[in-house]
Structure 1
Amino acid sequence: MDEIRIKQLEVFAHHGVFPEENRLGQKFVVSAVLYTDLRRAGLTDDLNHSMDYGAVCAEIQHYLTAHTFQLLETAAERLCMHLLRTLPLLRRIRLEIEKPWAPIGLPLNTASVCITRGWHTAYLALGSNLGDKKAYLDGAVQALREDEDMRMGAVSDYLVTAPYGGVEQDDFLNAVLRVDTLLPPHELLDRLHEIEQAAGRERLVHWGPRTLDLDILFYDDEIIADETLHVPHPEIPKRDFVLKPLAQIAPYLVHPVYHRTISELLDALHA
């Protein structure tokens, strides 16, 4: 990915743990690497296809002077999230905030915090087999669309499927969608649980009926296996009701464990 670099932008702001830092203010030095695709800008010589680094510098200066934080870590985190949410072409950012006048009582050139944040691509499964199933799926899609930490991508058709897991219950309505998210995997899972709870989800019977079920199928190419989260979802190759809608929106997506496309996994399931 291409880079736009901003080096040592000086900003006078009011961040710090001590009250006098918040009251009197001090100099901060900001450097950033903005990751984006500059190919179209290079071919067209048109600023609309790039990011105006002068405007980005002005936005950094405005944000850091309009807010007060105790920790550099918080200032860096909030500034990164603000820029990622407001700059449509920005995919990832590496940001360093230096504090040359850090009050530590020892000779020091500068103290700094450096973080990297960005958009990640996730594929989510949606299911419902209680009440107004379509309304529950529609509500989940809308909740994700309105979330400032999400950018909605393709949404599959809603498919009627038989229940899975051996529990006698009504048919499901299932779908899959693609979303870009600023949330790391476990925070994304927590956000999905919040949406489920808002829909009245109760976890009473394993593989039992539910108003709304949201699962993370893929998160970039990451492989995660811990007490709370398994990504890619381990049941993907066995589930027709996941592979069919996934093949609608991402047939050539490659499973990072099996190294086969979604279309190939679907064909293998029906072989």
Structure 2
Amino acid sequence: MTAPFTGDRIILNDVGFYGFHGVFSEEAKLGQRFFFDLQCGVDLSVPANTDELGHTLSYSDVYEVVKATFEGKRTKLIEALAQNTVTALFEVFPEITWIIIRIRKPEAPIAMVSGEAAIELHRVRPA
């Protein structure tokens, strides 16, 4: 096994959803945009050499798990949302060895003129 956070990876960047996660009642009522950046560590050497779809982890399938998790249980904290997503991905895809996930909230309820609030988790598959 390669060292954590190195090597091959499947990447989904700037994946947007509209949802109702957040601490404040306005966030639960009105909702807001969220953007995910995701890296999943997985050995891609076999599909790289065979060019066979059946030998790879489909980024479409990864997206569907992220979407289902996002649309599932409402969380107050994006840290919890990120951890729920990591847990679901590890459960569904045993070939994923590590995950880096960033969730961004461009409309976070703070008085910023530009930018976004975000969190990032780095997780290795539990032994």
TM-score, normalised by the number of residues in structure 2 = 0.88
Contact 1:35 1:93 in 2 (8 A): yes
Where does residue 23 of structure 2 map in the other structure? 17
1:5 matched to 2:26? The reply is: no
Question: Where do 5+ consecutive residues of structure 1 fail to align?
Answer: 121-180, 182-271
Report the AA paired with residue 36 of structure 1.
Answer: V
1:104 counterpart SS class: coil
Shift of 1:34: 1.0
Q: Percent identity?
A: 28
**Runs ≥4 in structure 1, deviation > 4 angstroms?**
none
1:111 matched to 2:121? The reply is: no
Contact 2:18 2:34 in 1 (8 A): yes
Question: Where do 5+ consecutive residues of structure 2 fail to align?
Answer: 1-6
Contact 1:91 1:119 in 2 (8 A): yes
1:41 to 42, 47, 61: 47
Q: Deviations over 1:206-243 (max 9, x none)?
A: xxxxxxxxxxxxxxxxxxxxxxxxxxxxxxxxxxxxxx
Report the AA paired with residue 84 of structure 1.
Answer: F
- Identify which of structures 1 and 2 has the higher relative contact order when contacts are C-alpha pairs closer than 8 Å and 6+ apart: 2
2:22 counterpart SS class: coil
Shift of 1:65: 1.3
Report the AA paired with residue 96 of structure 1.
Answer: R
Shift of 1:47: 2.2
Number of residue pairs aligned between Structure 1 and Structure 2: 121
Shift of 1:111: 0.5
Contact 1:50 1:89 in 2 (8 A): no
How far apart in 1 are the matches of 2:56 and 2:99? 15
2:75 counterpart SS class: coil
TM-score, normalised by the number of residues in structure 1 = 0.43
How far apart in 2 are the matches of 1:98 and 1:118? 21
1:90 to 96, 112, 116: 96
